[in-house]
């Protein structure tokens, strides 16, 4: 479906329901609420919030911060936004007769409007507003405690700086104890399926692996009319300005405005041939042999930033391993960024100078095998979701891979309960055919090595969901897609 601007709008039922619930509480209780909405750039935060305020049909103001702008500009823009709303605040003309000189004054005008009934206030790109005025958090806290909390105000702070938005709620910050967090993630596979009606479940997962569920990219797939995700990729790689090529760069430039080791490490992980390198693999990519000892600390810090602060990289450890185990590897969390680093970044020069044939050729050469590795965390997430309702997965709390130190044995899916391994599975993500008898026999032998797996079920996972006898659980792409329903 499209929003009022004609931009395609898909899914987001959960986010819209959460925002509606907060508004209902404000309307019914008469008191204020602050909701902190966070999510990466390009995931559609502003779009879904705008959709919400238009559906709510309550007076609202939607003010957007500008990167690098000074506070007077932000205040001027926020004041002008009052009259630009489809449902303006009460007495909008009076409220905007002059530009306020401080956020305290602007918030005071919001309080006056709220005395007439419930209002919604959206401060989009809040981190940019706060960067321009270091007192904004404190002023907001003071006005909230003094006035706004006792009025029917739904204040929604929106930000793409995920780390900063998380810090807003930390102990010792002005808004501690006052915020209700709401995370906007990319579209999930079921929402991608809704946006691409008529596609098979296998094709939906292909589209998800390519787009990562970014609404702009999903809309681009739908708009091009390409019959398959691979057709879409081949066409998009011929255009250096296509959303598939440019979206990641916009997002990464915002995350890393200045060159730093973290961005090099992220690139090294994303473009690695194995799709899940270890520490030494990353170190060898970004440093010469003579420098490696010196670079170890810098790489360790960068990995900590990428995993614990920015959430761009996930640290994987084998099932049942201790949290302090050195047996770990890394992968880019976002499916689209995994794809982009592999097939766009390393081909960027070719695409820019008109040699898209080289980029398309690189994609065609190893997409089938790369797709099989990139889909594994998506499959594990689906199995973990299935555990909520599937009796065979009762008490399963985590689904992780398992492997031995030298990499000679690996099990794709290990479903853990607090006490035992409930299921071990193999993933064979091929366009045709399921898991064969030889692969099941190998899984059976590997099960003996997995901790606490004496009674673990054997699972065969493939797009078609077929498996030979001896398999306890056979899952296909439709079963996995259903997990997000």
Task: Look up the CATH number of domain 13-183.
Answer: 3.40.50.300
DSSP per-residue codes, 197-255: TT--HHHHHHHHHHHTT-HHHHHHHHHHT-SSHHHHHHHHTT-TTSHHHHHHHHHHHHH
Given a cut of 60, whether residue 74 has pLDDT beyond it is yes
Query: Where residue 281 falls among pLDDT bands split at 50, 70, 90?
Result: confident
Given a cut of 70, whether residue 213 has pLDDT beyond it is yes
In this predicted structure, what is the pLDDT of residue 274? 59
The proportion of the chain whose per-residue pLDDT surpasses 70, expressed as a percent, equals 97
Q: 146-197: per-residue pLDDT in tens?
A: 999 999 999 999 998 888 888 898 998 999 999 999 999 999 999 999 999 9
How many CA atoms are closer than 13 Å to the CA of 462, on its beta-carbon side? 18
Given a cut of 90, whether residue 200 has pLDDT beyond it is yes
Q: Which residues of 393-412 are buried (b: 16+ CB within 10 A; e: fewer)?
A: beebeebbbbbeeeeeeebb
The CA distance from 326 to 315, in Å, is 11
In this predicted structure, what is the pLDDT of residue 8? 61
> Which tokens go with 230?
């691979």
In this predicted structure, what is the pLDDT of residue 471? 94
In this predicted structure, what is the pLDDT of residue 251? 85
In this predicted structure, what is the pLDDT of residue 4? 45
- SS3 label, residue 422: strand
User: Closest Cα partner for 371 from 210, 248, 236?
Assistant: 210
User: Closest Cα partner for 158 from 187, 129, 195, 115?
Assistant: 129
Indicate the class that CATH gives domain 239-366.
mainly alpha
Q: 403-429: per-residue pLDDT in tens?
A: 998 889 999 999 999 999 999 999 999
197 CB-contact burial (10 Å; exposed 0-12 / middle 13-18 / buried 19+): exposed
Indicate the class that CATH gives domain 376-482.
alpha beta
Query: What are the residue boundaries of the structural domains of the chain, listed by start?
Result: 13-183, 189-236, 239-366, 376-482
Q: Show the DSSP H helices in 85-135 as ranges.
A: 92-95, 103-114, 126-132
Given a cut of 90, whether residue 10 has pLDDT beyond it is no
Predicted TM-score of the model (pTM): 0.88
Q: 19-59: per-residue pLDDT in tens?
A: 999 999 999 999 999 999 999 888 889 999 999 999 999 99
- SS3 label, residue 484: coil
Query: Where residue 278 falls among pLDDT bands split at 50, 70, 90?
Result: confident
- Cβ atoms within 10 A of the Cβ of 4, count? 10
Average pLDDT, the chain: 91
250-259, 386-395, 472-481: the lowest-pLDDT one? 250-259
> Which tokens go with 357?
């044939």
9-13, 84-88, 238-242, 366-370: the lowest-pLDDT one? 9-13
Given a cut of 70, whether residue 247 has pLDDT beyond it is yes
């Amino acid at each position: 479906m499209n929003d009022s601007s004609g931009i395609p709008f898909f899914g987001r039922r959960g986010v819209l329901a959460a925002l509606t619930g907060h508004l209902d509480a404000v309307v019914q209780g008469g008191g204020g609420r602050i909701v902190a909405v966070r999510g990466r750039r390009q995931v559609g935060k502003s779009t879904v919030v705008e959709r919400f305020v238009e559906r709510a049909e309550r007076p609202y103001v939607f003010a957007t911060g500008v990167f690098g702008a000074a506070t007077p500009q932000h205040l001027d823009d926020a004041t002008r936004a009052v009259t630009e709303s489809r449902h303006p605040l009460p007495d909008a003309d009076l409220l905007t007769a002059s530009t306020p000189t401080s956020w305290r004054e602007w918030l005071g005008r919001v309080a006056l409007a709220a005395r007439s009934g419930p209002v919604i206030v959206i401060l989009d790109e809040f981190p940019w507003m706060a960067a321009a005025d270091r007192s904004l958090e404190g002023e907001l806290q003071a006005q909230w405690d003094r006035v706004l909390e006792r009025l029917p105000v739904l204040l929604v702070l929106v930000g793409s700086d995920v780390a900063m938005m998380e810090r807003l709620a930390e102990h010792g910050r002005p808004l501690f104890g006052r915020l209700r967090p709401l995370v906007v993630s990319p579209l999930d596979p079921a929402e991608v399926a809704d946006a691409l009606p008529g596609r098979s479940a296998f094709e939906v997962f292909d589209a998800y692996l390519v787009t990562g569920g970014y609404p702009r990219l999903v809309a681009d797939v739908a708009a091009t009319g390409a019959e398959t995700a691979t057709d879409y990729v081949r066409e998009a790689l011929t255009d250096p300005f296509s959303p598939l090529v440019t979206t990641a760069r916009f997002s990464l430039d915002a995350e890393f405005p200045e060159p730093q080791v973290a961005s090099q490490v992220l690139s090294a992980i994303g473009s690695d041939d194995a799709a899940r390198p270890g520490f030494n693999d990353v170190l060898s990519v970004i440093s010469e042999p003579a420098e490696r000892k010196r670079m170890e600390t810098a790489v360790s810090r960068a990995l900590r930033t990428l995993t614990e602060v920015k959430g761009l990289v996930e640290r994987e450890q084998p099932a049942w391993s201790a949290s302090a185990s050195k047996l770990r590897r890394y992968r880019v969390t976002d499916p689209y960024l995994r794809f982009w680093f592999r097939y766009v970044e390393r081909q960027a020069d070719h695409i820019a100078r008109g040699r898209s044939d080289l980029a398309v050729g690189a994609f065609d050469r190893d997409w089938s095998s790369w797709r099989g590795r990139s889909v594994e965390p998506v499959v594990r997430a689906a199995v973990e979701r299935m555990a909520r309702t599937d009796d065979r997965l009762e008490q399963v709390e985590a689904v992780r891979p398992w492997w031995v130190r030298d990499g000679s044995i690996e099990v794709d899916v290990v479903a853990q309960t607090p006490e035992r391994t409930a299921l071990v599975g193999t993933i064979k993500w091929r366009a045709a055919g399921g898991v064969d008898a030889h692969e099941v026999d190998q899984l059976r032998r590997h099960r003996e090595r997995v901790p606490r797996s004496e009674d673990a079920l054997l699972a065969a996972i493939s797009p078609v969901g077929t498996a030979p006898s001896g398999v306890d659980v056979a899952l296909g792409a439709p079963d996995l897609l259903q997990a997000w329903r």
